[in-house]
Structure 1
Amino acid sequence: MANYNKTSNNRLVVPEAQEAMNRFKMEAANEVGVNLTEGYNGHLTSREAGSVGGQMVKKMIEAYENSIKK
């Protein structure tokens, strides 16, 4: 049986960035039309969750590419 009360094992390298990462995730979810809420989002389908993560990666790559153009 799965333990759904388990805390996440995902840890940020810079813990002070947690709030910014949460805002970034909400922004990405909004851009792809996923209704993301604070806290647990077990109602999301794999496709929805993946689209949020994919959007985040896309934006990070875009930011990196823009930084090396200069």
Structure 2
Amino acid sequence: MARSNRTLVPDAKNGLSKFKNEVASELGVHLKEYNGDITAREAGSIGGEMVKRMVEQYENNIK
């Protein structure tokens, strides 16, 4: 099955980018336009925290 990177919800890209920057800032990771110099641990921490918060929000919304 071929994968596609097309955006299904155009506003989602900007929202996720803003969310990523907020989480990174709270974790003390400074993101720039090019982030190839951050460590895998830093990138994983940002992604993991984003997922954690999205799951928490979903769980709160279904209650």
Q: Which of the five TM-score ranges fits, normalised by the shorter chain? A: 0.7 to 0.9
Inter-CA distance 14–54: structure 2 relative to 1 (3 Å threshold): same
**Which of 41, 44, 50 is the matching residue for 2:44?**
50
Question: Percent identity of the aligned residues?
Answer: 57
Q: CA offset at residue 65 of structure 1?
A: 0.8
Aligned residues: 60
Q: Comparing both structures, which one devotes a greater share of its residues to helix?
A: 2
* 1:20-59 equivalence runs, <5 A: 20-37=15-32, 39-59=33-53
Alpha-carbon distance between aligned partners in 2 of 1:28 and 1:10, rounded to the nearest angstrom = 23
- CA distance in structure 2 between the partners assigned to 1:61 and 1:44 by the alignment: 25
Q: Which 4+ residue blocks in structure 1 deviate beyond 3 angstroms?
A: 9-12
Gaps of 5+ in 1: 1-8
